[in-house]
Structure 1
Amino acid sequence: MNFRLLPEWAEQDAIMLTWPHKDTDWADNLAHVEPVYIELAKHITAQQQLVVVAHNELLKTYIISLLNKAEINLERVHFVVTPTNDTWARDHGPLTCSALDNADQLKIYDFTFNGWGNKFESKLDNQINHTLVKALSDKKNQYQVLDLVLEGGGVEINEHGVLLTTSECLLNKNRNPNLSPNDIETLLKSHLGATHFLWVDHGYLAGDDTDSHIDTLVRFAPNNTLVYVKCDDKSDEHYNALNAMEKQLQSFKTADNTPYSLIELPWPKAVYDNEQTRLPATYANYLIINNTVLVPIYADANDELALTQVQKAYPKHNVVGVNCLPIIEQFGSLHCITMQLPRGFLAGAA
């Protein structure tokens, strides 16, 4: 049976959040970060179910009190209690494929998460998926653990099986040093059902620990559309790299040899933390849920334009801005802290 990774706009059962806690790098910023998680929980449960990974039972009880106070329907919330290092569900979460000849048959892949090239401790986070699948997944789904380092934020796929990624991330020797580019393509064709690859060779964000994850730079939308960040400030350190990225995107061709439709996202003003380290603010790090796209905003003059541009890419969805200034304090954004679980993932979800 052949399987293919589902695009993010496929129908979903739930979104997974791994909740921040005092034993993570969020400790000093929890008062600012928790309201963002609560807002996300409201938006998500209005459309579908929510899975919350909690570090321990004490944290679960605390989260329940926060959700109750926010009047969130707890019947739409599922908890998984397991120790966690951090909160980046996009990268330690599962990647879910569906059978090409039977959309109801899912295969859940548990790739290896090594803290973005062994930059950070990740042993606990790398065990979350096993507990998640055992606790909540429908028993008809297949589950496979793979000895291949791959993060969800590092790959995008569209409805045609075209896989979009960056060479800086997937070919980085801090991930799979013994694999050639051809080896990686072969494995991702086999496991994720990729039919073709678009390798982005340019572009980065200052303050990004992921080695240029694609979800900070370029995103797929339906109908052969690419949504990307464009830097129009020639004095900005990112200008040359992102200009080169734009030119490469313009050169990409679809299976029928036509250019992709390109939708540019504006460039937010530079944001810095208290130590004057630049933070990776990007509008590309949005989350698609059922009927809605949640877009990170940064109290920036370009926020409204970003929402307008995302709406062009997903005309059938509502587009909602979520203030992610507290999230980028830890060098990620909205998409990075979430992972979609497609229709059929959860037992009894229907």
Structure 2
Amino acid sequence: MQHFSPESPTPRERGFVMPPEWAEHAATWMSWPADDDLWFGHLAGVRGDYAELVRTIARFEPVHLLVRDEESEADARGRLMGADVTYHRIPLDDSWIRDSGPIFVRDGRGRVSLVNWRFNAWGGKFEWENDDRIPEHVAAHLGLPHWDRPEVLEGGGIEVNGAGVGLTTRSCLLTDTRNPGLTEADYAALLRDTLGIERLLWLDGGLENDHTDGHIDTITRFVDERTIVTSVAEDETDPNFAVMAKNLAELREMTDPNGERFRIVELPLPATRLEGAEGRLPPTYANFYIGNGFVVVPLYGDPNDERALEVLRPLFLDREVIGLQSRAIIEGGGSFHCLTQQQPAGTLWQGE
């Protein structure tokens, strides 16, 4: 299996770009929750919500599930009996494969490869050594030649529209615990060469007490090439209010490479403030996951649950929009998009 270094021809030079999430998938990759301490004593409830998420996704496309030990595999198999799931036993630290897993790329001939970025648990906040090896396991299983990068990058930190535009946040990418010294211009060049992002758009920040330092996928998402859904807070006393309002105003002025403005759709944040073991939790409806014929949206038993679904359903007329409970999962700081990583449909690249 070939490993391409930063000095090799880049993915972009070989014609590879990151497809949008709504492009057809071959499968979804996930990691089974295993550590009760990381879930602050909520593991049993988390596994219940997580199993329902896996079962739902597996109705529409195959799921590759990473399990870290015998107990995890037995628990998962017991809960997921009959579902279209393939199990992979590897060491794991945590479950957030959106950030620790590979980012897949595809070329104009439909060939699929991946980029292996470094993962350091959002700037060294938790253990990460095992999770940093996940992309290599995935590449080995698929037999994929791929690119190894020295930079830290988490999948939840970027959004793409499939037409050369990317979204991210300064609060995340510009931290000194990820890639010290990299500027906005440096990231623009890096993401152009590796993921095919020709125009990188920046928002300032994300949700209060988000341990990812404000990932874009918790607040603002592309749902097609021209439409952006962005979170808004309605309580002016909420610390999230001003940040989300500034994001909204900036998004309304942003343009694509042709100078055209995007369609901006407001998505309410949950109305109820949730507290966890380490302070305020960051529940959001924007952390939905788009798959083959479906969209799964996290719900929290909140008054705004149904409102959020009403906003999203008209944006996905060709997909079933499914609300699932994520009240236990949010205790760990993330939700459905954070727990999933799509493998695009296509022929597995053999290198050249």
Shared fold by TM > 0.5?
Answer: yes
The one-letter code sitting in structure 2 at the alignment partner of 1:215 is D
Residue aligning to 1:89: 97
- 1:51 counterpart residue number: 64
Give the counterpart of 1:191 among 184, 191, 194. 194
Q: Hey, what does 1:111 align to over in structure 2?
A: 117
Q: Is the 8 A contact 1:297 1:321 kept in 2?
A: yes
Asked whether the equivalents of residues 80 and 132 of structure 1 are also in contact (C-alpha less than 8 Å), the reply is no
| Structure 2 residue identity aligned to 1:121 | E
Q: 2:278 and 2:67 mapped to 1: Cα distance?
A: 32
Are 1:12 and 2:12 counterparts? no
| 1:273-298: CA deviation from partner (whole Å, max 9, x where unpaired) | 35582110101000001000000111
What residue is the counterpart of 2:173 in the other structure?
Answer: 170
Q: Which residue of 2 aligns with 1:123?
A: 129
1:155 aligns with 2:158: yes
What is the CA RMSD across the aligned residues, in angstroms? 1.7
Cα pair 1:227 1:313 within 8 Å, conserved: no
Q: Do the aligned partners of residues 19 and 27 (structure 1) sit closer, same or farther apart at CA in structure 2, a change above 3 Å counting?
A: farther
Identity of aligned residues (%): 35
Q: Which residue number in structure 2 is paired with residue 102 of structure 1?
A: 109
Deviations 1:39-76 (A, max 9, x none): 112111110100110002342233212212xxx33xx2
Counterpart secondary structure, 2:138: helix
Describe the SS at the equivalent of 2:99: helix
Cα drift, residue 243 of structure 1: 0.9
Query: SS where residue 258 of structure 2 aligns?
Result: coil
Confirm or deny: 8 A CA contact 2:276 2:331 kept in the other structure.
Answer: no
Q: 1:232 to 1:345 in 2, by over 3 A?
A: farther
The farther-off stretch of 251-260 and 211-220 is 251-260
How far off is 1:126 after superposition?
Answer: 0.3
Deviation of the 1:308 alpha carbon: 1.4
Letter in structure 2 aligned against 1:20:
P
User: In 2, distance between residues paired with 1:90 and 1:297?
Assistant: 19
Q: Distance in 1 between matches of 2:25 and 2:138?
A: 16
1:31 aligns with 2:53: no
Q: In structure 1, how many angstroms separate the alpha carbons of the residues matched to 2:124 and 2:347?
A: 30
TM-score by length of 2: 0.91
SS in 2 for 1:41: helix
1:311-330 to 2 correspondence within 5 Å?
Answer: 311-330=313-332
2: CA distance between counterparts of 1:320 and 1:158?
A: 22
Amino acid across the alignment from 1:262: I
3-state SS of paired residue (1:333): coil
The structure-2 alpha-carbon separation of the partners of 1:156 and 1:245, relative to structure 1 and needing over 3 Å to count, comes to same
Relative to structure 1, the CA distance from residue 58 to residue 35 in structure 2 (aligned partners, 3 Å threshold; closer, same or farther) is closer
Following TM superposition, by how much is the alpha carbon of 1:30 offset from its aligned partner in structure 2, in angstroms?
A: 1.6
1:61 to 74, 83, 86: 74
The alpha carbon displacement at 1:305 in A equals 1.2
Runs of 4+ in 1 over 6 A off after TM superposition: none
Query: 1:15 aligns to what SS in structure 2?
Result: strand
Instruction: Note the alpha carbon deviations across 1:207-252, whole angstroms, 9 max, x for none.
Output: 2100110001100111311001011211211111111111001111
Q: AA paired with 2:208?
A: A
User: Which residue identity is paired with 1:55?
Assistant: R
**1:239-268 residue CA offsets vs partner (Å, 9 max, x unmatched):** 111111110011111223221101111121
Seen in structure 2, the aligned counterparts of structure 1 residues 10 and 96 have a Cα distance that, compared at 3 Å, is: same
- Paired residues of 1:296 and 1:324 also in contact (CA < 8 A): yes
Q: CA deviation at 1:345?
A: 7.2
Which of 190, 203, 206 is the equivalent residue of 1:204?
206
**Partner residue in 2 for 1:132:** 138
| SS of the residue 1:116 aligns to | helix
- Judge conservation of contact 2:113–2:348 (CA < 8 Å) in 1: no
Q: Are residues 1:283 and 2:285 paired? A: yes
Q: Residue 87 of structure 1 aligns to which amino acid in structure 2? A: S
Inter-partner Cα distance in structure 2 for 1:199 and 1:8: 19
Which one is further off, 335-344 or 244-253? 335-344
Q: Is the 8 A contact 1:169 1:210 kept in 2?
A: yes
